[in-house]
Chains A and B, each alone.
Chain A
């Protein structure tokens, strides 16, 4: 069956360091992969979308890579700040549905200490 895995353990890092979060998937060939941020009690907020033919995408301090051979995406936050503390979700579109049927990972919680 199709599966998305994100590290369930919280990632603790020091302010100013680079945070790297991992998203692995099996039994998928997604055309797109998306990353969202979710704060407690709030809905997910879209961050970045990367297509299967793109290896890397950047937006300000964020960088996403997409390796369709390894079936893995890495999400990097450089020069991290305490305000970056949140849960980060990856999502893939299910194949051949004709619409945006997203499957989400369980998310990784990031804690950035001052």
Chain B
């Protein structure tokens, strides 16, 4: 029973390029959350998605960032025209229900480095 799978584990991009981060939730989970973690800082909520729907993207920068969770395939976090400040660890989590009485299951993250 595979857990949450994220790829790539490490991604290096030059300023101005695009970064695409993928997340396959646990089997049977239809709720996906993306978080960003900067060094010495806590995990910051970015976006919450259900299949084919963005439910809450209040934690995501208004420009250059987008997320999707298509009917088939993994959830994608896309960062266009990356800048140095986008360097961080990006974590995806999934849960079977939306309510807070269940834990979230996390992947091991994608570490994005911008040159």
Contact = CB atoms under 8 A, between A and B. Distances in A.
B25 interface: no
Nearest to A47: B103
Interface stretch (B12-20, B41-49, B60-68, B70-78): B41-49
B108 interface: yes
Contacts of B56: 97, 99, 101
Contacts of A42: 108-109
11 contacts: A36-B106, A43-B93, A43-B109, A44-B91, A49-B101, A49-B103, A99-B31, A100-B99, A104-B35, A105-B42, A106-B41
B101 A44 contact: no
A99 B103 contact: no
Nearest to A98: B98
B48 A46 contact: no
B4 A43 contact: yes
A22 interface: no
Interface of B: 4, 6, 31, 33, 35, 40-45, 48, 55-56, 91, 93, 95, 98-109
Interface in A69-114: 89, 91, 93, 97-107
Interface residues of A, number: 27
Given A89-B43, A101-B48, A103-B45, A51 B101 contact: yes
Given A32-B100, A32-B101, A99-B98, A44 B106 contact: yes
A42 B33 CA distance: 16
